[in-house]
Structure 1
Amino acid sequence: MIKTEDLMAFLAVAESESFSKASVKEGIQIATLSRAIARLEKQLDTTLFNRTTRKLVMTEEGVVFKGYVQKALNTLELGQQHLLSHQTEPVGKLRVDSAFPFMINQLAQVLPEFKQQYPKVELELTTNDTVVDLLENKVDVAIRIGDLKDSTLHARALGQSPLVLVASPDYLQANGTPTHSGQLSEHSLIGFSHASHLNNWYLKEPNNAINFELKASSGEVIKQLCVNGMGITALSYYMIHRELNDGSLVEVLPNAIHHPNRRESIQAVYYKQSALASRISLFLDFIQDKLILEP
């Protein structure tokens, strides 16, 4: 009989592609992980990993087996969550993923109150600035900004967060305030280095080329550069509402951007699973009225 613990050990090693990394991540000794893999390989009469002194690579059989293990462990967890969901007080784990700026500027602000109201819901938070596979990354619900492409997921609209052109008062005092989008080419513009779609500002005058003098991979870094007077950028309102309110950033060219556009929708996505549906709905109902997405 294959042990669930051995399957969990196999999945940890497969996802980490390293015994040592899996050991650190899961808090399990390398020797324990190694014995679990050895037991599985003996029971299955197949090699799951090819081992060298430098790397660990799953065999073709290992890759196939990993898919079955993920589904099996997910089914077991759903069974547990289904039983827990029948308790009167919400209880159990809820794994939430979002882009880092949304996590830090929105979710992190409202989750203390959620935990106070629902102390038995165990939140596990991850941040990814790219679209993640919910099953592969063990995510129950993900908050996504912009148009959705994954049609296999259930989506719930949380609202729209308009794109805003902003700069610091110091920058505008030193460099002047543009009066139309054609003048943006005369200014220092800040954009994204690793996500070209985020450099589309959806200007109403599309013939104006946008050349970025400064780029960064993180939206939070771009915001801080802008606050520090490095130039003009376009960010979602949910990221900058505090800075607009305290005056460290001011809006530039308020009528220059098309609204709505493909960067403005905010949605929660998840698989339709009855065992988790009530907890996900509870979470989304709670945060929806508390998110600050637009002026």
Structure 2
Amino acid sequence: MIKTEDLLAFLAVAENESFSKASAKENIQIATLSRAVARLEKQLETTLFNRTTRKLVMTEEGAVFKTYAQKAIQTLELGQQHLRSQQTEPVGKLRVDSAFPFMVHQIVPHLAEFERLYPNIELELTTNETVVDLLDNKVDVAIRIGDLKDSTLHARSLGRSPLKLVASPEYLDHTGEPKTVEALFKHKLIGFSHSSHLNHWYLKEVDEVPNFSLKASSGEVIKQLCLNGLGVCALSYYMIHKELDRGLLVEVLPEAIIHPNRRESIQAVYYKQSALASRISLFLDFIQDKLKLQP
């Protein structure tokens, strides 16, 4: 019978790609990790890692087993949390992931109230600019912007947040405000350096990606570049509504973007068979009422 602690040790080594790094992160002695992996290899009658003096490389068999080990540990955690959820008071851990701007502008401002209402729910927050694997990243529910492609996930629509072309008043005072898309393309434009799909602005008159004079990997950085007068960008309303209200950013060409478009959908996703569904629903019910997605 495979021991749970051996599975946890194996996953720690696999995720850190090193016995020493896993030891430091999990506070487990290297010898303990090594013995656990050795027991697994003996029970499975296969090699999970190829070891050299310089490098630790997972075998093909190890990669296959990692997937099953992750699911096994998740199933145990969900079973434990499901039993806890039967208590009168909601209790247990809930791991939530979203893009950094959405976390900062739409979720964090309301968490003090959520904690007052549900003090026994332990939130763990992570941010990623790209779509993450829920299992690999130990995420219970992720907020995703755009279309959902993974059919193994359950999706709940949180609404739509329109895409806006914006610039700072200082930039427009210096360059003049573009009145046509053709004129817009002659301006300094700011885009994403990694997520190429976010560089589609869904302009009515053209079906092409603009040429960007400046790029950044984070939507929040792009907003700051725009606020500092470095050009025009296209961002979701949910992350710029305060700046628009205060006049720190100005919308340009308000009729130029096609609505709705694939960048405007906001969804919460989690595994369909998750025993955490009631806790997830509790969190989403709370946060959905607080979201500021549209003008």
Fold-level match, TM-score > 0.5? Answer: yes
Structure 2's unaligned 5+ residue stretches are none
Letter paired with 2:70: Q
Letter paired with 2:76: L
Change (3 A) 1:276 1:207: closer
- Bigger mean CA offset, 170-179 vs 279-288: 170-179
- Residue 49 of structure 1 deviates from its aligned partner by 1.0
- Bigger mean CA offset, 284-293 vs 123-132: 123-132
* 1:272 corresponding residue in structure 2: 272
For the 8 Å contact 2:152–2:272, the answer to whether it is kept is: no
TM-score under structure 1 length normalisation: 0.95
Q: Map of 1:206-285 to 2, 5 A cutoff?
A: 206=206, 210-273=210-273, 275-285=275-285
Q: Map of 1:1-295 to 2, 5 A cutoff?
A: 1-206=1-206, 210-273=210-273, 275-295=275-295
For the 8 Å contact 1:85–1:275, the answer to whether it is kept is: no
Q: How far apart are the structure 2 equivalents of 1:242 and 1:169? A: 15
CA shift digits 1:140-163 (9 cap, x unpaired): 111110111112211110000000
For the 8 Å contact 1:169–1:248, the answer to whether it is kept is: yes
Q: Secondary structure at 1:275's aligned position in 2?
A: coil
CA shift digits 1:3-52 (9 cap, x unpaired): 21121011111112112222233233333322322333344443221111
Report the number of matched residues.
Answer: 295
- Residue 209 of structure 1 deviates from its aligned partner by 6.5
Q: How far apart are the structure 2 equivalents of 1:214 and 1:45? A: 54
Q: Secondary structure at 2:124's aligned position in 1?
A: strand
CA shift digits 1:239-267 (9 cap, x unpaired): 11121122221111111111111100000
Change (3 A) 1:98 1:207: closer
- Bigger mean CA offset, 191-200 vs 45-54: 45-54
- Residue 210 of structure 1 deviates from its aligned partner by 2.0
- Runs of 4+ aligned residues of structure 1 deviating over 6 Å after TM superposition are none
Q: How far apart are the structure 1 equivalents of 2:76 and 2:225? A: 47
- Residue 197 of structure 1 deviates from its aligned partner by 1.2
Q: How far apart are the structure 1 equivalents of 2:107 and 2:248? A: 22
Q: How far apart are the structure 1 equivalents of 2:47 and 2:289? A: 52
Q: Secondary structure at 2:185's aligned position in 1?
A: helix
Q: How far apart are the structure 2 equivalents of 1:65 and 1:193? A: 35
- Bigger mean CA offset, 91-100 vs 59-68: 59-68
Percent identity between matched residues is: 79
TM-score under structure 2 length normalisation: 0.95
CA shift digits 1:100-140 (9 cap, x unpaired): 22112211222222122111111111222222222232211
Change (3 A) 1:209 1:150: closer
Change (3 A) 1:207 1:9: closer
Q: How far apart are the structure 1 equivalents of 2:224 and 2:216? A: 11
- Residue 274 of structure 1 deviates from its aligned partner by 5.4
Q: Secondary structure at 1:186's aligned position in 2?
A: coil
Change (3 A) 1:29 1:245: farther
- Residue 235 of structure 1 deviates from its aligned partner by 0.3
